[in-house]
Amino acid sequence: MSKSIAAVSRIAFLASDVLVDSQPAFPATSQFSKHFQCFAETTGRRPLTFEVPAGGDPASTILRNGASASLVSFTASATSHTAVRLVLQATELSSLPLGLHIAVTDDLSDVILLRSAVPFFLVSYTAQQAHDNALLASRIARVEKKAVVHVFYEHNGDVSDLTTEGDIWRLLHSEKLAPGASFSPENGTNGYIEHAVVTNGVNGDVHLTNGISGSHSPSSTESPTDTRIPNGVANGFGDISNAPPPVSASLYELYEAALLSTVSCTRRTCRPLTFRGIDNPHTVVFVLGSLPCSLELDDVAFVSISLLTPLQPSKILRVIPPSTSRVILLEQLRRSNTKWTSLFLDIANILQERQASHRILVQNIWFTDSEQISSASLFKLLNVTSNLKSTSPLQLGSDAPSGPLVTVPHVPKHEVSYTKILSYVFGDHLEISNSPSFVPVQGAIATSPEFALGRVRGQFEQRAQLTRSVQALMEVEGITPELHKALGQWLLVKDDRSKSRAVSDQVVSLLKSASLQNAHVNRVLALQAHLPTRSKWIIGSDAWSYDLGSSGLHHVIASGLDINILILDSVPYSSRHSADPHRRKQDAGLYAMNHGDVYVASVAVYSSYAHVLQAIMEADRHKGPSVVLAYLPYKSENTPALDVLKETKLAVDSGYWPLYRWDPVKEARGQEPFTLDSDSVKNDLQQFLDRQNHLSQLVRSKPQLATELVSSLGESVKEARRKKAAEAYSDLLVALDAPPLVILYASDGGTAEKYAKKLMNRAKARGLSASIGTMDSMSIETLANEEYVAFVTSTAGQGEPPQNGRTLFKAFNAAVGRGDRPFSKLRYSVFGLGDSHYWPRPEDAHFYNRPGKDLDSRLEQLGGERFAPLGLGDDQDADGPETGYKVWEPLVWKALGVDSIQVLEAEPDPITNEHIKAASGYLRGTIAEGLQDTSTGALAPSDTQITKFHGIYQQDDRDIRDERQVQGAEPAYSFMIRVRMPGGVCTPKQWLQMDRISDEHGNGTFKITTRSTFQFHGVIKRHLKPTIQDINKVLLDTLAACGDVNRNVICSAIPSKSKLHARVYEFSKLVSDHLLPRTTAYHEIWLNNKLVAGEAVKDFEPLYGEFYLPRKFKIAVAVPPTNDVDIFANDLGFIAIVDKNGELAGFNVTVGGGMGVTHGNKKTYPRLADVIGFCTVEQGPLVAEKVMLTQRDFGNRVDRKNARLKYTIDRMGLDVFKAEVESRLGYKLSPARPFTFDRNVDDFGWTVGEDGKHHVTLFIENGRVQDEPGQDFKKGLREIAKIHKGTFRLTANQHIVISDIETDDVLQIKKLLAEYKLDNLNFTGLRLSSSACVAFPTCGLAMAESERYLPILIDKVEKICEEYGLRNDSIVMRMTGCPNGCARPYIAEVAFVGKAPGSYLMLLGGGYYGQRLNKIYRESVSEPEILAILRPMIKRYALERLEGEHFGDFVIRAGYIAPTTEGKNWYDRMGGEGNFREVAAAQ
């Protein structure tokens, strides 16, 4: 086992968030992976680890997982494939915090390609150096966010000193050391540090400058002295100050800074160039490779290169003494893609461009085996070539091969079973076009599909030439009749494998015996190998399935050539989930089917040998490309055949690996091209299709599956009989003498509509002719002609009819007022839905089910006759409205004479959000088609559920809804768009773009939400796509800003703690990116990115699955003592814990917070989160993932009102939930650490951060950024954004922090703030602590005003506060227009939740810093009642409060309201306490 690999693996494991390990070709195993597994067992770290199979693309895995990581480490043994893959993505990789650790043995040919592709390139020659450079590479990559290549030799020496895990952590998280900092190395070790004097164990003082030692004794192993070589040059070498400017000087400074920190940690020298030899050599040999340490020559100095990039000319010149007349670059290479290597050209250029009085001979020498290099051999070569100006690199030692050393790839013994079948079926006619036997001659590329395709294409072209030559030869005069006949027979049977060989032998024999002198004869004989036809096969692995769109496999499938491909899939069924979920293997079979001319089969030799034979014979007969997917599950060559058999049976029987054949020839004949051969799957096709398999994708693209796939003739007969019986029963019901039934409904929330549709379905099941519609779709005149009508209506607002029934209600009232009686023939019944507790006061009791009662009365007044009495459904009943409905519905059937009909058919399940999500095609739905529909300003109802996942809500202007309805126009539809902006930080450029979008696409304003992001309103449908595209142009998006996914992750603004904010902000982005949906639908629909390869490459959601989450999921990150994000109101929270040094140590984890409630439904309640433990920063994203996945799997998907995480935890129990999360993590969370909060409001005004930069927090009432008379806030912020060089932070309290203002810019910012009155903080503490949601006119859920009304209410309440001396006292007041709680009202000290226009739920007693829920004080209050309640309460608070006592605490102590101890007890003791108790609440 290599000591170097062990050391590098350890550093990579301990330093990285993400590990990507490239696997060698089978049967070899990765040494890195073995070490990673060992470290995982012995340490507490669990970095995300991904294994890239041989032939896979490591760059895509790195890019997918590296963007949000602090450090990604890639490990691999050097291969040309790996290097090429990395080079192709070098531009993207170079800007990632990425360490590429690549092990080599005796050849740098492959890895040298990366030198020009990345900013930093390090080389290590010993195990200890590999350890230290791995640390250095990790430090550079993590701190500078740049890619570093670290190449090291596998088998060189031991590691004498391993850096401890704690020191590694401190190195990676420490600040940069400034040049000039110094330290004293311990234990007499030779230390290295820039510009420092080190006197430990060195003969005399060593002055180290720029990484090379300065003054020392001649016996030292350091470079020549600065005193002997002023400025590093002399004797005509020129002044270094006149040398060309250093290349990548800034990169070298970054390298030096990281080197300084690393050496301070390891206490060992770590030089970019190591000089060994005499001070005045005539020859300097730069060495890039592993040479024996004992190698010494007179007058020769050796410089070992450890830093290949950036290569500084000044550093190269510094190690070349004045005495030097010859410079040699000695490189350990077997081959190069160019004549001269880039390093040689760089060194030659450095020496050539300098001013010099004499020329230096520069030579390039390659060597391969270091053991063959001796002082004698090198001395001999130097003497022979002392004056040689070579035109190509010289060779040292045995001749280096011009190409790579390759060995014949090993074919695993299990895979031989398929090649044996091919040999058995085709015998001598078989040709494997990528046979491993070609490798020794043609190189490793000979086994690739691209190379094999080229071979086959060339063979077909040669055979076409052969055919033309045979045809031409037949026309030549003088050929014998026997030859003419043989040639003719060959043309007839040339494509028949059995016949063509015999005829071919005869043709060759006759040609050789003929005395013809003809070019065509020579051509035929030269191409005689192509006379017999062959079965051409390319055999590969499932690694070809990872990049179908661009791989060689794609070219073979699309070639149209008569060639067969056998792809072996060796992943065992039991290990199917262990691979990197992002590197999802695509369905090569389905991909091939999409081409239309490809035969495809899926086989498994251990399941059906006969099926394999049938498939490969059909594939061979097919004239065109064929793909046979062969299953052969095994982990190693030692896997017993019995295990292979078991895994195969599991995979085939479960449907994971279906056996099937697809023949496009049948499709051309009008026959079913698809044949399913899996017996176990045939028994239950639907169950099979619901599982994870390839065929489910096939059915989506080809739904017309023939019935013979899954049914026998007997089953067909049974089905026909069932259909005939059903038709007879239907005819019987239709023949019943029952009148038609019209069902009309009025519904805002959908419940009344659901009951109306249920009634219609049941009516039809009883044979009635039933139709359905909204009440407003019917006029009085039309109703007068109907005989039987059933009305279903819910209750809106303060006893008002729903929106889609108000017109008919108004018409009824007008007709009653006129005394009309148009319904003389109408028979009717009404079912009303309401909540008897929604209006609990006795004087409000008449609001209960008022629309239903009024409708029943009006119909009677208009001459109608009841056929069934009024039915009332009450939300407060045990089954809700169902209780009343079960009483009313049988009366309907009895009146219509169909009550005796027994209906046994199951009712269709209602379409729920879960169905819509699953059927959406990973969030596609029919959104793209809906955007093209110009006949309406709306999208389809199902699509409006899916657009939420894209950050879009469909709304309409409710202020003019009635007016539009009267005009006969559809509602004024528009859309709300919410931006995903983790952490709430944006740049001035992004701010200006948001400002422009609001003007060009929105209503001229935009909203800062309680999730610290932007929200636009009034965007019409045709502006949706341009808006999304404009948002994405400034590197923001809207994906997952809404919907049943993790939404925008928010974090504390904390302007005074700049360093800590930077950490939690990065953490917020990391968590957000980690939990982001992976569907490509967003980019396809809004950014016009088309899905490549047709429908073959399917989306995959590794975290969410096709159903996503049961409900929305919110995450916040708080930094004590400020709880400005209301951490306990979120599903998941991270409370930052700072260590004694002020560094972020990790987070306390909270789970189970949530605000949403449904009025009158006591199964719903708000809940504060519980603290369940502590995690480190690195563990945070994985903790977030496991908490979210536990909610995904255990959340309530039946009832969305009880689907949030808070209900899941209360149902499971906190301890059980925590245990489930820890089980998924694989470790237990640490105990929670102490923390303290003291407020949840923002700190307004100016502050200076730890970094000396200035910040100012502005008050933006309720987050609405707009221009008003005397308050041009929007314009002012626009002008600030034009000159601001820092950032903007949006707070969770809907305010703005202008951050990172340089001291020189403060005055200019202050001037603009004053000009636009943005610096005005002369508001009451009540107003500064207030918050409101949008509500009317745009929010479709709003029941009352909020954003437009709260400032008016505060105007009146703050007068009371000022009257009693409380102007500057902070009282947290919040208002929402509905009970969903967007403004987090349930933790405010006083809150108002809309129930109907002008009517609110009033709550008291919340904690000042969000630590306690409030409680319902009054269930219905209007403005006069609010003011009447608050006046004496505020007065008492002013007079009786204790020192430091907040309003929420006071109302509890004073006996107004009981404290809420937990969410489940929220309704207990509601309505006030003692003398303050509401009468209705006590009843």
Residue from 766, 1333, 1361, 1374 carrying the catalytic annotation: 1333
Is 1382 one of the annotated active-site residues of the chain? yes
H runs (alpha helix) in 598-640: 609-621
Q: How far is it, in rounded angstroms, from Cα 1419 to Cα 436?
A: 81
Q: Is there a catalytic annotation at residue 270?
A: no
Q: What is the CA radius of gyration of the chain?
A: 40
- 427 CB-contact burial (10 Å; exposed 0-12 / middle 13-18 / buried 19+): exposed
Question: CB of 8 within 8 A of CB of 1?
Answer: no
Residue 986 a catalytic site member = no
Q: Decide if 1112 contacts 1044 (C-beta within 8 A).
A: yes
User: Which residue of the set 115, 766, 1047, 1289 is catalytic?
Assistant: 1047
Per DSSP bridges, beta strands 1245-1248 and 1254-1258 are antiparallel
Of 988, 1081, 1065, nearest in space to 1034 by CA: 988
Q: Distances in Å between the alpha carbon of 193 and those of 124, 154, 182?
A: 19, 28, 7
Instruction: Report the DSSP beta bridge partners of residue 1257.
Output: 1245, 1297
Residues forming a β-bridge with 629: 567, 602
Q: Which residues pair with 956 in a beta bridge?
A: 973
* Consecutive H or E run containing 463: helix 449-474
Euclidean distance between CA atoms 1279 and 1298, whole angstroms: 13
Set 806, 1218, 1382, 1395: catalytic member: 1382
Q: For the chain, first and last CA: distance in Å?
A: 80
What is the DSSP code (8-state) at residue 925?
T
Report yes or no: 957 and 974 within 8 Å, Cβ to Cβ: yes
265 part of the active site: no
Quote the DSSP letter at residue 605: T
Q: How many CB atoms lie within 10 A of CB 48?
A: 18
- Distance of alpha carbon 97 from alpha carbon 20, whole angstroms: 13
Distance, in Å, from the CA atom of 675 to the CA atom of 663, rounded to the nearest integer, reads 9
Tokens of 6: 């062990």
User: Which conformational region is residue 639 in: left (phi greater than 0), alpha (psi within -120 to 50 degrees), or beta?
Assistant: beta
Strands 741-746, 788-793: pairing is parallel
Closest by CA to 743, choosing from 822, 831, 849, is 831
Q: How many CB atoms lie within 10 A of CB 1238?
A: 11
- Rounded CA-CA distance 673/802 in Å is 53
Instruction: Return the bridge partners of 1299, or none.
Output: 1287
How would DSSP label each residue in 412-454?
-GGGHHHHHHHHHHHGGGEEETT-GGGHHHH-GGGGSHHHHHH
Of the candidates 270, 1051, 1175, 1339, the residue annotated as catalytic is: 1339
Catalytic site residue 978? yes
Q: Which pair of tokens denotes residue 551?
A: 């791989």
The one catalytic residue in 142, 1378, 1384, 1477 is: 1378
- DSSP annotation of 176 reads P
Quote the CA–CA distance of 752 and 72 in Å, as a whole number.
Answer: 55
Q: Choosing from 980, 1114, 1192, 1206, which is the catalytic residue?
A: 1114
* Amino acid at site 102: I
Looking at residue 1050, what DSSP letter applies? E
C-alpha torsion angle, residues 882, 884, 889, 890 (rounded to 10): 110
Helices (H), 950-1057: 961-966, 988-1000, 1024-1033
Q: Is 197 in contact with 205 (CB distance < 8 Å)?
A: yes
**Angle CA(198)–CA(203)–CA(205) in degrees, nearest 5?**
40
- Has 1333 been annotated as catalytic? yes
Is 1378 marked active-site? yes
| Tokens (6 digits) for 537 | 């096969």
| CA-CA-CA-CA torsion sign (984, 989, 990, 993) | positive
- Encode 1219-1288 in three state secondary structure: HHHHHHHCCCCECCCCCCCCECCCCCEEEECCCCCEEEEECCHHHEECEECCEEHHHHHHHHHHHCCCEE
Active-site residues: which are they? Answer: 978, 1047, 1112, 1114, 1333, 1339, 1378, 1382
